[in-house]
Structure formats: structure tokens, C-alpha cells
Structure 1
Amino acid sequence: MIPKLFRGFVDDAAVFPPGSASLPDAVRAHLEHRGRWYQDLVGPLLVKTSQLSQVQRHLDEFRTGDEPLRVGIVADTGMADVAPAMAHLRADIVPVQVEVPVAKRGEDPMPGVAELKETYGDWGGVLVYGEIPLTFGLHEALDELAGTPVIPKFRTGGLLSELFPTPEELAAVIVACAGRGSGLKLTAGLHHAVRHTDRSTGFTHHGFLNVLVACADAGKGAAVADVAAILRHTDPRPLVDTTYELRDRERPLWAGFGSCSVTEPLDDLIGLGLIEEPVQQ
């Protein structure tokens, strides 16, 4: 059984870098995840707007039951294309969220935020995440989205070192979202539970347990410096102890994260004793 804290924690971003699975492989693997004992850990399969028509064919190819496929739409061709693409989906492909980049890194996010506010009402009431670059204009964008159903989303990794925010940068974002009551979602670079340096790339990754505990403290009013200190932890023990106490509660502040691997976060949670793998009979 997956504890409440981790239900729907990891969205399946298999088609996105660095995993970059083919769409057929991603659909097949996602259906396998949905049939395993850990299925409640897994959120929707994230697919680009431009891929939605192909998803239907691969679902017919690989599905063995009649359970609907829950998808999260990543708007790769613009916000205006999302509603028409949703309208052409079959009833057994259910969009549960839409993720929209409001600007590229270094661009002013405000025009994209304004377009998003005008557009999200056409998407049938699904969860909406607006991805905001961690550059100038961030706080103005958060102010503009406060009080709307749109949940801010931020990138915490990628193929370039500058896409990994420092603990202080990420802490400032977490505290800013907590102060506005907006929640947040993260994506990229969070495959493992505890802060670490990847030997193959040299990039230092945030740990998802660090972020979870940091969000819990930020929700209680912790300052940026204190939240950053949690994000810097490399010793899993205090993070595990705090997380264990939260296992039966809703996730504080953090909606979850997209990962091109579902099993790597799962393996870490099992290894740290936070999820118990059923004994094979």
C-alpha cells in the first residue's frame, strides 16, 4: 500500500529528456506501472499536445483491460491548440492536467501569464500548471496567478547546469509559493530522494525528500534560509525521520513532480523504509 503522502507523487514523464522514451514504449510501460502494486504512486502519463492523436493508437495496441488512460497534456504547440486536441480525444483517454510553459528562460513571463489566464477556462476544469522560468519577473508572475486555479511549476534540472537552481533559489520559490497559498509543482532532476552529485554529469541534483520536508516547513512559515538548509542536506536520516511522521497526511504545498523514471524514486522510497514492498507469495 502506498501511504497517502506519496499517492500520485510521480507523474510519468518517460517521453521527455533525459529518458526520451518513444511514445509506444512510454504507453506500454505506463500501462504496466498502472497494473503493479505501486500504481497509486504514479500520476498521469505526460504527453505533448502534438502526440495526443498517436496515444490513441498505442493504447489500443497495448492495453489488455478497459481502464481509461489518464494523461497530462504538455502544451508544446501553444495554448490555443490544447482545447481542440482535448475535444478530439476518445472517452477512454482522460486528460487530468495541462502543463503550459508561460515563457522561455530569460523572457518576460507576464504576456504568457496573461494568455494563460484568458485560456485555462477552455480546458474543462482540469488541473493547470503554469511553468515559470526561475529568472526575472518570477514574483510578478506569482502575484498575477495568486487566487487563480493555476499552480506554478518550476524546473529543477535538465541537460544544462544552469537549469539546476541553487538551494537558496529553490527555497525562495518555495517560500514565495507558500506565502501566496498557491502550491507548486516541480520537474526534472528529482529522480532520487536525497541531494547528490551525479558522477556522469557532475550536476548536483535536489532530492525529492529534501523538497518534501522543505515544503512542509515552508508551509509552517519557515524562512528562506531555513528552507535552503533543508535542501542542502545530504544525510538521509533526518529527512526520513520527518517524512515518516508525514506518511499518513496529504502532501504539504507540493503537488508532485514529473520524472522520466518512475522506478528510481520508488526504489529509493523502498530502500529508505518509507514504502514497504509486498512480499511475493
Structure 2
Amino acid sequence: MKSSTQSFLSNLIDYAGLFPPSQLPLEEAIHNYASYKSDADAWMLGRFIIPASRLDELDPYVSLFSKKIRLDISAIGQRSTDASHCLGLLQSDLDKISAFCHRHGGKVSINVYEMPLPPILPNSHFLKTIARETNKHQLQTFCEITMPLNDEWVDMMLQTVDEISEHNRKEDIQLGVKLRTGGVTADAFPSPEQVATTLVACYERNIPLKFTAGLHHPIRMYRDEVSTKMHGFLNLFTAGMLVGVHRLDIPTTADVLADEDPSHFRFTEKGLFWKDLIVAVTEIEQYRKQSLYSYGSCSFDEPREGLQSKKIL
């Protein structure tokens, strides 16, 4: 396997089998994850995604794991309506995370927390409190933007990342952004231009990104089940890297995201190419480690089957 492929795909896919459209029972999802952890493709697998409020339900299944093959978890926060409500739910989640880790020791690890912000513009005190409280539990925190996906979304997103950027500039504890790139209906999918604006904005502000939803396939394509085009995870992460390496503007970044031709994406020993633009292997490693974290998928099989069909694996 080419080193560029390995660097790009390493721990890329967080398993979110509990969530739509799969929405599996917990027993089936956690057994799937345990099986994937011992699979030949386990190197592409990231964390098991579960709401922090449901961690207690995992207790009977921790025996599937060990200190050598660990249950790595990204905990999801609860949705809220305002800052006060959000911080109350946050404390409840953190208590559950702490208790779960204490019960199970080295068999489990929870070091990522994905927190849906309330659909309001966050202020500095609010963000500082989130960062301070989650840092007490050694959690890397990604703040999900939950504004309605309408004509005002870009402005609200930009204001939100400005606030996060200002927080990160002033404080030692850094926050990331989580971007939702789809759902189970067509109206849940942001356009290539909206995603491109987010990628460029977060790069310019040095904010790390995590993604979720709708990223089942490597390359963008139309899907009957949602009656729209779904973003490709190869498009998405390639676009994010090209923004950093080649300082792409928003229209060109949107072109990468909208590209439906697999032949335009090539992994070589030198790096990853999109058309004639290259991201070197060392740059892939850098961006995956520092700014383009991973994405949540309700299937692990679908993405890797897509990669195999494109002769990438």
C-alpha cells in the first residue's frame, strides 16, 4: 500500500453504528466495533461514537475489549436550547464519562468529546467554561455548529468560528469545530460552497475540524435514498488539505468538493493528487494530525467497500 494512502486513511473512520441511518441496537453496534478492531483494516478505524448519556449501557460489553485491544470512545454531548441548559448537560455528561472510565480502567479510553452548541452565537465566557471543564477530563473537544441550514447559516457559522478562534487565541485550552455534512434527508446536506467556506474559515483561524453524517462514499455522488448528492469523504479531506497546502480560495475548494470524477484523485508514492495539485505524504500526515481529525460514519463496511471499488485499497 502506498504511504500516501496509509497516511490519509489512518484512523479516519469513527464508527457511529448507533446513529441514523443504520441506527443499530447497542449490542449489535458494539459487537461490530469489537470485530472491526481485530480486522485487517483496523488501522482505518477510529473511535466508537456513543452519547455520553448512554455510557452506562456499555458496561456489559467492556469484556469484549482489553488493554491491548481497547474500547476507544468519542462521547457525544446532548443538544440544548441555551447556554445555561448546555452547561448543565455538559456537567452531567462529564460525570458519566469520569465514572465510566473509573469503572473500567485501561480497557477503555475516552479522550474526545463532541459537543452540540445551542443554536445561538457563543460568547467568550461560555466557550471558556466548556474548555475548562472538558480539559479537567483530558478531553479534546469539538463544538458542533447546530444553526439551521438556511440562508443565514454561513454568516452564523463564520461568527461562531470567529468566537472560537478568539477563545483559542487567548486561552491555552483549544477548541475544535465539528461540521455536519449530511443526514437522512436532502435538506440536511450543506452545499459544496457552504462546506468550502467552513474549510477555508477554519484553516485561516487554525481551528481543527471533525466531521459527521452523509460521508458513506469516497467520491461525491447522487444517492436515491436521500434524493440528493452526498459528499465524498475523499473529496472532503482532500479539499481541506489543499486549502492548507495551496491556499485554495472558496470557489476552487468547492470545485474539489463537487468533483464526481474518481480519476481526478490519485494516491502515489509522492503524495495525493487532485488533478495537478499535490499534497505530499508529510503534509497529509501533518494535516490529519493537526487539523483534519476524522469523521463519523454509521457504517465501516460501506466506506471501505467504496475504497476497494475505486482500487484505493
TM-score scaled by length of structure 2: 0.80
Choose from 172, 191, 194 the match for 1:169.
194
Letter in 1 for 2:143: G
Choose from 108, 113, 116 the match for 1:98.
113
Deviations 1:121-179 (A, max 9, x none): 33322221100135242112111212252110111111232210111111111110111
Letter in 2 for 1:101: P
Structure 2 CA distance for partners of 1:55 and 1:228, relative to 1, 3 Å: same
CA contact (8 A) 2:131 2:141 kept: yes
Deviations 1:193-247 (A, max 9, x none): 1111112331210111111221122113110010011111110111235736658
Choose from 228, 233, 243 the match for 2:272.
243
Quote the residue 1:188 is aligned against: 213
2:161 pairs with 1:142 = yes
Worse overlay, 121-130 or 201-210? 121-130
2:97 pairs with 1:86 = yes
- Provide the C-alpha distance between the structure 2 equivalents of 1:271 and 1:157, rounded to a whole number of angstroms: 23
CA contact (8 A) 1:79 1:116 kept: no
CA contact (8 A) 1:215 1:254 kept: yes
Quote the residue 2:78 is aligned against: 76
Choose from 260, 266, 280 the match for 1:234.
260
Task: Give the percent of matched residue pairs that are identical in Structure 1 and Structure 2.
Answer: 23
- Provide the C-alpha distance between the structure 2 equivalents of 1:185 and 1:160, rounded to a whole number of angstroms: 21
- Provide the C-alpha distance between the structure 1 equivalents of 2:256 and 2:78, rounded to a whole number of angstroms: 34
Quote the residue 2:225 is aligned against: 200
Quote the residue 1:278 is aligned against: none
SS in 1 for 2:227: coil
Structure 2 CA distance for partners of 1:247 and 1:56, relative to 1, 3 Å: farther
CA contact (8 A) 1:171 1:231 kept: yes
Question: For this pair of structures, how many residues does the alignment match?
Answer: 270
CA contact (8 A) 1:7 1:41 kept: yes
Q: Which consecutive residues of structure 1, in runs of 5 or more, have no partner in the other structure?
A: 276-281
2:39 pairs with 1:36 = yes
SS in 2 for 1:186: strand
CA contact (8 A) 2:219 2:235 kept: yes
**Displacement of 1:119:** 2.6
**Displacement of 1:65:** 8.0
**Displacement of 1:28:** 0.6
Choose from 168, 174, 180 the match for 1:155.
180
Choose from 256, 260, 265 the match for 2:298.
260
Letter in 2 for 1:216: M
SS in 2 for 1:3: helix
Deviations 1:54-94 (A, max 9, x none): 1121223x448863311110012721212211221121221
Structure 2 CA distance for partners of 1:167 and 1:23, relative to 1, 3 Å: same
Quote the residue 2:138 is aligned against: 125
Q: Which consecutive residues of structure 2, in runs of 5 or more, have no partner in the other structure?
A: 80-88
Structure 2 CA distance for partners of 1:79 and 1:116, relative to 1, 3 Å: farther
- Provide the C-alpha distance between the structure 1 equivalents of 2:42 and 2:196, rounded to a whole number of angstroms: 30
Structure 2 CA distance for partners of 1:114 and 1:197, relative to 1, 3 Å: farther
Higher helix proportion: 2
SS in 2 for 1:190: coil
**Displacement of 1:267:** 1.4
CA contact (8 A) 1:206 1:231 kept: yes
CA contact (8 A) 1:6 1:251 kept: no
Quote the residue 1:20 is aligned against: 23
SS in 2 for 1:234: coil
